[in-house]
């Protein structure tokens, strides 16, 4: 063997080891996530199995025969590799409900009757139905927080929208000032903003109870968005300041030479250029308001936010793992999607000066 | 004054007008609540100056355990997270195919809202949850057996919480440290090797000192959020089983509301958390050089 090939082998081995290592880390990171996704698609029957199935079934294979009390319904269990009896009843209505709520593969009474008709010629009868994978999600929105889930979702979106509006206008203006002007107290101000950002939200929420009750905003979306804006304004100031610093003043000046006013120059030149950054700020504000739980618990009573509804469902959900998982997924999805869009900014911020 | 002077004055006022809304907003919705809580915590119902509220909190039988549990979680989780993250960052610090995808995946645990993370772990840690199922499939658990993760002693529960927290946090600390590592010019480390250093000496004498600002940032940001841990504790163990500071605030404000002392207790705990976090934040601003006059422009 020449020296060169030996070196090549060594290098390949190192590279392989590296990729195995990276894959191991990735698996460790993703494994819990995989299970919450998978659990959210399990039917109630599957969720009560132990050990839990690693994959949600896509189809339910039914077997129907005559039973003592009417008809005997069995389903195929992919783990034990056998048909298991789940129901013995003559009440087709009951059978239909059971198929929907426990097995997640609904059949109407006439459809069941069709299969029963086949029983005349052959017994047992086998048939397969596609499982409705979103059944847990539908159920979650129907039952979570005693029907509060949908209003709470709408409320949370309102809160996010208001938080974005407040923090982009107020924070954006200040960010522009920090980027374009030098004035007394500039650095001190910029760092007090950072301090406000680090101050725990829960410490604002408690005394805000009194203030919001006086304003009539307690238990209302606007009250919460006022609290969430405290943190996201600070973040917006820091991000927009760095964005506006990255856009040369000379562009605005050029526009002014061609007869635009200062405000026109800003609206026509700087603003369009800063849109991607502003979008990132908006997503940050969204994430902050969407993910927050403790202030939402303190500042709401009869009108909870979506995160509070999920929290309550999960808290009381020892028996309903599939519903808890579905709720967690609904909560996680927007957060993960928006994080994907602003990942570059997060990297920058984590690698740069920080928040 | 002439028209020109007025115009000049107007232009000087522009930046102040632009930051006025922030100042007003923070005065109304940050400073005012902070003052209310500080004043409220030092006065009794009749408005006299008193330390009674704090005495009440300190005499709360869950106060010392809450403080201790929080301290243990913060200390061990931040230490563990930091060393594991540093180890991972040092190993992964190179360009490779799929690096940006890997970095995105590493952000997901941090991006997960705490309520969703709670759902993930409670479904895993129950006796018939996915963790036991996984152990069963991997052959570590006999059929029908299960481990009661949430029934252990206080120490084992704390360890469990630290591990759960570590899963969520290590990837993002790793990203921060990776970013820091990649900002270090390669020549510096190469110079270290040229002068005969081995990997460990280069790491100790060159890489880590250059990484110090990043490490400080990462650790202090972690401290701030670790102090405020509560939701995962409550979801896994319920209220009062393993008290932590912020859990006490929610407990007194929501779970035992209506008691005469509920609000004062919640407020007392709030102040304690706020003071601790503020001290850490100030320490951060100190080490990041925010108080130095001649600091350069920050990005």
Look up the ipTM and state it.
0.86
Give, for A72, the enclosing helix (H) or strand (E): strand A71-77
At residue A51, the pLDDT reads 87
R_g of chain B, CA atoms, integer Å: 25
Is the pLDDT assigned to residue B242 strictly greater than 50?
A: yes
At residue A329, the pLDDT reads 94
**Residues in Cβ contact with A247 at an 8 Å cutoff, skipping those fewer than 6 apart:** A270, A273, A274
Distance from CA of A106 to the nearest CA of B (A): 25
Longest dimension (CA), chain A: 93
Q: Is residue B299 part of a domain?
A: no
How many structural domains compose chain A? Answer: 3
**B270: chain A residues, CB-CB within 8 Å:** 202-203, 206-207
Shared domain for A250 and A302, answered yes or no, is yes
At residue B298, the pLDDT reads 41
CA angle B120, A281, B284 (to 5 degrees): 75
B184 — contact with chain A (CB < 8 Å)?
Answer: no
Distance from CA of A332 to the nearest CA of B (A): 6
Is the pLDDT assigned to residue A1 strictly greater than 70?
A: no
Task: Using a cut of 0.80, tell me whether the model's pTM lies above it.
Answer: yes
Shared domain for A71 and A126, answered yes or no, is yes
At residue A282, the pLDDT reads 92
**B interface mutation test: which of A165, A290, A314 has the most B CBs within 10 A?**
A314
Please give the C-alpha separations between residue A324 and each of A134, A250, B64, B259, in angstroms, as whole numbers. Answer: 14, 55, 33, 31
Q: Is residue A52 part of a domain?
A: no
Distance from CA of A273 to the nearest CA of B (A): 18
Q: What are the tens digits of pLDDT across the range A317-354?
A: 555 788 889 999 999 999 999 988 888 777 766 654 33
- At residue B292 the predicted structure's pLDDT band, cuts being 50, 70 and 90, is low
Mean pLDDT of B102-115: 89
Is the pLDDT assigned to residue B294 strictly greater than 50?
A: no
Backbone dihedral angles phi then psi of residue B196, each to the nearest 5 degrees: 90, 10
* Residue of chain A whose alpha carbon sits nearest to that of B296: A187
Q: What are the tens digits of pLDDT across the range B32-64?
A: 999 988 888 887 777 788 888 888 888 988 999
Q: Is residue B119 part of a domain?
A: yes
Distance from CA of B120 to the nearest CA of A (A): 5
Task: Give yes or no for a contact between B57 and B272, defined as CB atoms under 8 angstroms apart.
Answer: yes
Q: Could you list the residue range(s) of the whole structural domain that residue B219 is in?
A: 53-287
Give exposure, B6-15, as e/b (b: 16+ Cβ within 10 Å): eeeeeeeeeb
**A218: chain B residues, CB-CB within 8 Å:** none
Q: Which residue is listed with tokens 């459809």?
A: A111
CATH number, domain at A213?
1.10.3720.10
**A18: chain B residues, CB-CB within 8 Å:** 91, 94, 96
- At residue B101 the predicted structure's pLDDT band, cuts being 50, 70 and 90, is confident
**B271: chain A residues, CB-CB within 8 Å:** 203
* Residue of chain A whose alpha carbon sits nearest to that of B123: A321
Q: Which residue is listed with tokens 């120490």?
A: B155
Is the pLDDT assigned to residue B281 strictly greater than 90?
A: no
Shared domain for A251 and A308, answered yes or no, is yes
Shared domain for A152 and A219, answered yes or no, is yes
Shared domain for A235 and A339, answered yes or no, is yes
Q: Is residue B91 part of a domain?
A: yes
At residue A353, the pLDDT reads 37
Longest dimension (CA), chain B: 92
At residue B98, the pLDDT reads 83
Is the pLDDT assigned to residue B122 strictly greater than 70?
A: yes
Torsion angle of the four alpha carbons B16, B17, B23, B28, in this order, in degrees rounded to the nearest 10:
150
Nearest to A25 among B88, B126, B282 (CB): B88
At residue A354, the pLDDT reads 37
User: Which segment of A62-66, A176-180, B183-187 scores lowest on mean pLDDT?
Assistant: B183-187
Q: Could you list the residue range(s) of the whole structural domain that residue A269 is in?
A: 140-351
Torsion angle of the four alpha carbons A167, A169, A174, A178, in this order, in degrees rounded to the nearest 10:
100
Give exposure, B216-242, as e/b (b: 16+ Cβ within 10 Å): bbbbbbbbbbbbbbbbbbbbbbebeeb
Distance from CA of B1 to the nearest CA of A (A): 23
Nearest to A196 among B30, B253, B284 (CB): B30
Residue B258 or A127, more confident: A127
CA angle B84, A293, A234 (to 5 degrees): 80
Tell me the two tokens of residue A304: 């909870």
Give, for A59, the enclosing helix (H) or strand (E): strand A59-66
CATH number, domain at B144?
1.10.3720.10
* Number of CB atoms found within 10 A of residue B94's CB: 9
CA distance A165 to A169: 6
Q: What are the tens digits of pLDDT across the range A174-211?
A: 999 999 888 888 888 888 888 888 888 888 898 898 89
Mean pLDDT of A290-303: 92
Shared domain for A69 and A209, answered yes or no, is no
**Residues in Cβ contact with B197 at an 8 Å cutoff, skipping those fewer than 6 apart:** B205, B206
* Number of CB atoms found within 10 A of residue A327's CB: 31
| Nearest Cα to Cα of residue A127 among A46, A184, A64 | A64
Shared domain for A200 and A339, answered yes or no, is yes
**A interface mutation test: which of B26, B57, B111 has the most A CBs within 10 A?**
B111
Q: Is residue A296 part of a domain?
A: yes
Shared domain for A107 and A219, answered yes or no, is no
**Residues in Cβ contact with B69 at an 8 Å cutoff, skipping those fewer than 6 apart:** B158, B242, B243, B244
């Amino acid at each position: 063997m020449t020296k060169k090939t030996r070196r090549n082998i060594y290098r390949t081995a190192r590279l392989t080891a590296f990729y195995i290592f990276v894959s191991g880390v990735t698996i460790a990171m993703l494994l819990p996530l995989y299970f919450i996704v998978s659990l959210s698609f399990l039917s109630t029957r599957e969720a009560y199995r132990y050990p839990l199935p690693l994959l949600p079934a896509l189809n339910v294979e039914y077997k129907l025969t005559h039973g003592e009390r009417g008809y005997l319904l069995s389903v195929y269990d992919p783990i034990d590799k056998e048909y298991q009896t789940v129901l013995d009843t003559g009440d087709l209505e009951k059978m239909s409900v059971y198929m929907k709520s426990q097995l997640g593969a609904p059949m109407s009474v006439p459809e069941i009757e069709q299969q029963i008709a086949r029983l005349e010629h052959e017994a047992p009868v086998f048939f397969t139905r596609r499982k409705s994978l979103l059944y847990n999600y539908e159920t979650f929105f129907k039952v979570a927080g005693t029907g509060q889930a949908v209003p709470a979702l709408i409320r949370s979106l309102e809160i996010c929208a208001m938080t974005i509006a407040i923090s982009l206008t107020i924070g954006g203006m200040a960010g522009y000032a920090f980027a374009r002007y030098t004035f007394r107290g500039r650095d001190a101000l910029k760092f007090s903003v950072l301090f406000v950002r680090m101050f725990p939200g829960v410490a604002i929420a408690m005394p805000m109870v009194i203030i919001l009750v006086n304003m009539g905003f307690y238990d209302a979306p606007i009250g919460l968005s006022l609290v969430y804006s405290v943190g996201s304004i600070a973040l917006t100031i820091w991000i927009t300041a760095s964005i506006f610093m990255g856009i040369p003043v000379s562009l605005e000046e050029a526009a002014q030479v061609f007869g635009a006013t200062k405000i026109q120059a800003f609206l026509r030149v700087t603003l369009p250029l800063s849109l991607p950054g502003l979008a990132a700020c908006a997503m940050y504000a969204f994430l902050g308001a969407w993910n927050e739980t403790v202030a939402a618990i303190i500042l709401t009573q009869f009108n909870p936010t979506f995160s509070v509804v999920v929290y309550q469902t999960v808290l009381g959900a020892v028996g309903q793992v599939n519903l808890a998982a579905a709720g967690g997924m609904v909560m996680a999805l927007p957060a993960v999607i928006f994080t994907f869009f602003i990942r570059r900014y997060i990297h920058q911020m984590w690698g740069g000066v920080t928040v | 004054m002439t028209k020109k002077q007025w115009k000049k004055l107007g232009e000087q006022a522009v930046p102040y007008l632009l930051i006025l809304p922030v100042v007003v907003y923070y005065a109304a919705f940050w400073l005012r609540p902070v003052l209310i809580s500080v004043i409220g915590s030092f006065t009794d119902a009749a408005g006299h100056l008193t330390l009674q509220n704090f005495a009440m909190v300190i005499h709360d039988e869950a106060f010392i355990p809450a403080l201790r549990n929080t301290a243990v979680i913060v200390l061990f989780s931040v230490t563990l997270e930091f060393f594991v993250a540093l180890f991972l960052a040092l190993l992964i610090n190179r360009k490779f195919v799929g690096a940006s995808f890997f970095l995105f995946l590493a952000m997901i645990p941090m991006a997960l809202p705490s309520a969703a993370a709670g759902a993930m772990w409670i479904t895993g840690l129950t006796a018939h949850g996915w963790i036991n199922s996984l152990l069963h499939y991997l052959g570590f658990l006999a059929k029908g057996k299960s481990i009661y993760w949430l029934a252990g002693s206080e120490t084992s529960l704390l360890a469990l919480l630290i591990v759960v927290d570590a899963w969520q946090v290590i990837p993002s600390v790793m990203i921060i440290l990776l970013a820091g590592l990649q900002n270090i010019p390669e020549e510096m480390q190469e110079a270290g090797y040229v002068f005969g250093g081995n990997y460990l000496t280069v790491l100790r004498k060159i890489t880590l000192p250059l990484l110090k600002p990043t490490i400080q940032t990462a650790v202090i940001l972690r401290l701030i959020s670790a102090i405020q841990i509560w939701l995962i504790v409550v979801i896994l163990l319920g209220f009062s089983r393993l008290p932590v500071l912020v859990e006490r605030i929610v407990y007194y404000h929501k779970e035992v509301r209506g008691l005469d002392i509920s609000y004062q207790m919640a407020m007392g705990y709030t102040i304690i958390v706020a003071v601790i976090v503020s001290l850490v934040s100030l320490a951060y601003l100190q080490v990041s050089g925010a108080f130095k006059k001649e600091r350069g422009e920050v990005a």
